[in-house]
Amino acid sequence: MRFIFLFFVLIFSGCSIKNYKTTQTKIIIIKSPKLKFADIGYVRNSDKSIELELFVAGKVVQKITINHLVCTTEGCMSKRSFNGDYLSSAYPDDILQNIILGHKIYDGKNLIKTIDGFEQHIKNRDVGIVYKVNPHAIYFKDKKNKIILKFKDMDE
């Protein structure tokens, strides 16, 4: 009986364990119409998945996992649906994961290389974006949609 129990524990717990290549502690600021957060968080990622774990006073208040879907404490949805609910429906599907990882957005439109990173300024009828990336911080602000995302290293 013990062996059957042990077998089920190993099988089912193996499905829930994620092996992330990197885990970084960041100061995270998120301001959007549906989500407001400013505190410490973890950014974990592997080749196929990204996880944001947001803390307030040492307690997890929100976990966002991004792979082919975006999962929050409220459930899972497509990237397009997540953007429409939490950010802006005008954004490309992969914008959140590109911002979290510090990759270019909008296929590198208006990309300006800086000494230690890059900047993008994107303006059209739907967005007014300033996006800056350097080795220690990521800054995204969309004035038209009133969205701010900041990820800063703890030791900076």
For 101-133, what is the HEC assignment?
HCCCCHHHCCEEEECCEEEEEEECCCCEEEEEE
Read off the pLDDT of each residue in 125-151 and give the average, rounded to a whole number.
Answer: 96
Instruction: Say how far apart CA 28 and CA 35 lie, in whole Å.
Output: 12
110 inside domain: yes
Give yes or no for residue 12 having a pLDDT over 60. no
Range with the poorest average pLDDT among 4-13, 18-27, 52-61, 67-76: 4-13
120 inside domain: yes
126 inside domain: yes
Range(s) of the domain holding residue 65: 17-153
Among residues 151, 136, 62, the alpha carbon closest in space to that of 100 is found at 151
Give the alpha-carbon dihedral of 24, 131, 60, 82, to 10 degrees: -120
Number of structural domains in the chain: 1
146 inside domain: yes
70 inside domain: yes
Q: Which domain CATH number covers 60?
A: 2.50.20.10
Beginning with the edge strand found earlier in the chain, give each strand of the sheet holding 75-77 in spatial order: 75-77, 70-72, 59-66, 50-56, 36-45, 22-31, 147-153, 137-142, 128-134, 117-123, 111-114
Please report where in the chains the tokens 């997540």 appear, as a residue: 82
- How do residues 71-112 score in pLDDT, each as one tens digit? 988 889 999 999 999 999 999 999 999 999 999 999 999 999
Among residues 41, 45, 42, 40, the alpha carbon closest in space to that of 22 is found at 45
Q: How confident is the model at residue 149 (pLDDT cuts 50, 70, 90)?
A: very high
Instruction: Say how far apart CA 33 and CA 85 lie, in whole Å.
Output: 9
